[in-house]
Amino acid sequence: MNSLKLFKGRHAALQDPEIMGRKRGFERQFREAVRNDPTLNQQYGTLWDEIAQIRTQMASLAPMRNGLWFDGPLWSETLSAAGNMVLYAVRMLNGYNDEITQEIRSALTELTIDTDLDHHILALQLEDAVSWLGSGDPWVRSALAGQTPDDAARRIVESATAVTDTEQRTGLLENPSALINSTDPAILLMREALPRFIDAEIQFQELVTQEEAKVARLARALFEVHGTALAPDATFTLRIADGVVSSYDYNGTKAPAFTTFYGLYDRHYSHSGSEDWALPDRWLDPSPEFDMSTPLNMVHTNDTVGGNSGSPLININAEIVGLLFDGNIESLSGDFIYTTEGARSVSVRAEAIIEALRNIYDADRIVDELLRND
């Protein structure tokens, strides 16, 4: 659900004419500033066109990468296992019995495939492959064999016992030559797909490297134009982002800057029966000392992105007053442009952490250690 929220927020930002209008205006001014300075124009003036050219090449590789992608939590475990079995066999037969190869084997040995679930996932994956590659693509024709994606997925999963059956799969891993020559339908499909996928992936990663180098130069150009007036993009290095605690307009009213534990219980009881809002049993019978008016969460204008969760929130007195853990849906436009009208980061208040530890979790020793001044 968190990932779904992320992509919905980004998509909404891209469809928002005001946000994208501001972004286009900023980029236009930036590019004009470079173009109007002869020195900057000579150094950086062609970067936009060069990056656009790289993006065009990336787009041409997207159908192959997306249509033949086979590994990850959103893809069929049958095809994923078959692909990794083929990779394992190829590495072993070429003398690469190294740590990576053994990690592949270990993961395959421990894998248990839910074939009922995997049939549905594979059906969706085959639909995506048709969308990306077209029904006339050789791999798509091999996979479907004249059937619908759902029927083809059922056939593949039910007949791919050398992959889906743990004992058979483990036995094949003992004999890489037999594995690579297996007639299991999933293995046959991945032997056909992998060369094309790997070739597209190698080209794509080469383009990523080229783009990263040009984007780094573009960041340098941005600094040349704006100096320290703009904060640099985050680069996974330690940094401080400043902001203020502030409410924001929300659904015709205002979202408050602070919430309390009362709101936590209101969500639980207002959405009675919904697991999305249900509190654990421990929270339903708190100790008499538990103060539900304690501030729980707060929103603030710090420019944060995914990956900042867990960052300490520090006030002007260098005191830790909270811990960042989220952003509102409006903040997801921050991937493209930073605004403060509605975008907010969300942190849990320090006093809420103390209140819960002491009066919900009975963690007095931890609280005493956190509050100790020596």
Do the Cβ atoms of 327 and 304 come closer than 8 Å? yes
Q: Are residues 253 and 352 in the same domain?
A: yes
Does 77 reside within a domain?
A: yes
The encoded tokens of residue 151 equal: 């029927």
Cα dihedral 102, 105, 106, 108 in deg (nearest 10)? 160
Taking only the tens place, the pLDDT of each residue in 30-62 is: 999 999 999 999 999 999 999 999 999 999 999
pTM attached to this predicted model: 0.79
* Helical (H) or strand (E) element with 141: helix 138-144
Q: For residue 249, what are the β-bridge partners? A: 254
Q: Are residues 280 and 159 in the same domain?
A: no
Of 169, 184, 203, the residue at which a domain comes to its end is 203
Q: Are residues 182 and 256 in the same domain?
A: no
- The number of domains in the chain is 2
CATH of the domain at 275: 2.40.10
Q: Are residues 183 and 88 in the same domain?
A: yes
The encoded tokens of residue 103 equal: 């990690």
Residues 6+ apart with CB under 8 A from 367: 354, 357, 358
Taking only the tens place, the pLDDT of each residue in 297-309 is: 999 999 887 778 8
Taking only the tens place, the pLDDT of each residue in 124-147 is: 999 999 999 999 999 999 999 999
Q: Are residues 71 and 161 in the same domain?
A: yes
Does 225 reside within a domain?
A: no
Does 11 reside within a domain?
A: no
Does 233 reside within a domain?
A: no
Q: Comparing C-alpha atoms, which of 36, 311, 310, 68 is closest to residue 199?
A: 68
Q: Are residues 252 and 168 in the same domain?
A: no
**Calpha distance 108→173 (Å, rounded):** 9
Of 169, 203, 237, the residue at which a domain comes to its end is 203
Q: Are residues 354 and 255 in the same domain?
A: yes
Does 270 reside within a domain?
A: yes
Determine the structural domain holding residue 169 and report its residue range. Answer: 64-203
**Calpha distance 331→51 (Å, rounded):** 26
Does 209 reside within a domain?
A: no
Q: Are residues 74 and 171 in the same domain?
A: yes
Does 197 reside within a domain?
A: yes
Q: Are residues 260 and 361 in the same domain?
A: yes
Q: Are residues 198 and 267 in the same domain?
A: no
Residues 6+ apart with CB under 8 A from 246: 257, 299, 300, 301, 340, 344
- In the chain, pLDDT over 90 holds for what percent of residues? 84
Taking only the tens place, the pLDDT of each residue in 257-285 is: 999 999 999 999 999 989 999 999 999 99
Does 287 reside within a domain?
A: yes
